Structure 1
Amino acid sequence: MADSPYVARRRVRLAIRRARETKGATQSEVAEAMEWSLSKVMRIESGEVTISQNDLRPLLAYLGVKERAKVESLVASAKLSKQRVQWWETPQYRELLTPSIVQLMGFEVAAQVTRYFCSMVVPGRLQTPAYARAIMETFAGELTEEAVEARVRMRELRREQFLSPTEHQDIFVVLDESVLHRQVGGADVLREQLEHLLDLIGAQRIALRIVPFKVQSLIPMFATYEIHNFADGGEILYRESDTLDEIVEDPEKLRRHREIFERVWIGAYDETSSAGLLKDHADALR
């Protein structure tokens, strides 16, 4: 899969952060030396904004990155990171979404392998429109009506993008068995959602396993996260709880979440048994 602007941006900002830490400089010191605001440095390192080629070259020189091949590689990545605005970056969405969700959508379309770990509901990218709306409407007291509508539409567009015949990612999904019983939006909505998952399994778009109640101790309660791996060896973790979310790149946290996923995957029903459970529950809701 071709490199994406978000993966390129990630490569640049991680290189900047590593170089700053190697130099022993703080973000405030970088801001002062470059005559930038502290918020600009923080936003560049967090991935919220891109850095121009004209800003990158003097910054790398200040940070001690002088090897020509490395500098040119990072400048090329910075150029790629600024290519065309995606739909989720337009004001109608960006202003109503968290910075982490905006970054996530760039990462998920570039990932080669994705692991979804959900103990409460079906992961957002795999949700049917009715299921997504039922979930988003539970946040009506915390999010504005406009924000709810933007997130519902966002999930529809993410699903459409995922279902594109040009997409070829390895998707692994772990669901707690309770998800099959939780009638989000009512019986008909849940049935449609389960049947959609069965269609994805039948088309070999996802590999899905269900964690039975009897091994509930394997599930860190209420945990929801996803791990995305890229062609360049990079990896990110996205975690969310209620309306709070974050992108995590700490190697130790990534390792721990990978281990949790693998442990639960091994302890869950296999794919055939899991598909059978999905079908049984869908049929029972008719």
Structure 2
Amino acid sequence: MRSRELDPSASPLDYYGYELRRAREAAGLTLAQLGSIVFCTGSLIGQIETAAKVPQRDFSERLDAALGTGGLFSRLVGLVLRSQLPSWFQPYAEMEAKAAYISTFQAQLVDGLLQTEAYARAVLGVRNESGLDTRVAARMERQRVLEREHPPAVWVVLSEAVLRQEVGSREVMREQLAHLLTLRERQWLNVQVLPFEAGAHAGLMGSFAILRFDRDPDIVYTEDFVQGHMTANPQPVREGSVRYDQLQAAALSSEDSAALISRMMEGRYGNEPEPGGRDMA
């Protein structure tokens, strides 16, 4: 039996499968019986128990309710999904989850913490749709940092190009821009748009993020098309901080940014676009 050979220390996914099999057998349930309780097939339960498939959060929450495991699988699934992020990105995701303050400039895409599921799916599926559901779930899991009892303060500056670049479809973009507007309700989250009219600006070198912590040194993060680069070296952190301050100063105010997002949502991605595809923004 392959499931009996799982090494729970091999990976978060193996540990999850090991604990699931142990909890199911302790409850005296077959694969099919547990599957019927949590609304899935016994085959899926077996695949997760043998680390052949990655569990999702809603599945994990149903498991906890069915097996009375006190939130064990809801806690474990966060580790499992984080382990599915690209290996070069995982160190940043771990630091991001601990940050007290996150500030980011995005030149081409909506920041991952603010993406809708449909937008994330379109972005992550551009070159490869293999394992797309898992990769999307992992990105959505990152956003749980915003749901903490004491979430980090998040400040995002988006280039106007982010709003104009159609990702997925007009419907996907409309939903994404609407989501950005709803985020205004969050006390510790702020979104600004850097308009084209700003001209040459401090972010022309590309997207970057700065993480600040209560007790640890600040970190600046950049990435290229191969991997990410994270450093706590004081000089690049200082350079990144100055550049970010300049971007914030050049960007529209939060109110004017929301107005531009709203105009773009209705004019460029509305149900009745302007003739010839022209938008109103």
TM-score range, shorter chain: 0.5 to 0.7
Deviation per residue, 1:103-153 (Å, 9 max, x gap) = 22221121111001101010111100000111111232xxx713x443321
1:264 aligns with 2:247: yes
- Cα 1:194/1:187, change in 2 over 3 Å: same
Structure 1 runs not aligned, ≥5 long:
1-84
Contact residue 114 and residue 228 of structure 1 kept, 8 A:
yes
Match of 2:123 in 1: 135
Match of 1:241 in 2: 224
Q: Which moved more, 1:113-122 or 1:101-110?
A: 101-110
Match of 2:215 in 1: 232
- Cα 1:129/1:265, change in 2 over 3 Å: same
Contact residue 96 and residue 211 of structure 2 kept, 8 A:
yes
1:145 aligns with 2:133: no
Which structure has more relative contact order (CA 8 Å, sep 6+)? It is 1
- Cα 1:165/1:231, change in 2 over 3 Å: closer
Match of 2:43 in 1: none
User: What letter corresponds to residue 123 of structure 1 in structure 2?
Assistant: D
TM-score w.r.t. the length of structure 1 is 0.63
- SS at 2:228 equivalent: strand
- SS at 1:134 equivalent: helix
Contact residue 89 and residue 227 of structure 2 kept, 8 A:
no
Structure 2 runs not aligned, ≥5 long:
1-74, 271-281
- SS at 1:201 equivalent: helix
Paired residues in the alignment total: 195
Q: RMSD between aligned alpha carbons?
A: 2.1
Match of 2:109 in 1: 121
Contact residue 101 and residue 213 of structure 2 kept, 8 A:
yes
Deviation per residue, 1:194-248 (Å, 9 max, x gap) = 1111111123341111111122310433611211101104211221222421222
- SS at 1:174 equivalent: strand
Moved >4 Å (runs of 4+): 85-89
Contact residue 226 and residue 239 of structure 1 kept, 8 A:
yes
Identity %: 26
Match of 1:169 among 135, 138, 152: 152
Distance 1:139 1:119 in 2: 20
Distance 1:185 1:175 in 2: 18
Distance 2:168 2:205 in 1: 20
TM-score w.r.t. the length of structure 2 is 0.64
Contact residue 88 and residue 105 of structure 1 kept, 8 A:
no
Match of 1:70 in 2: none
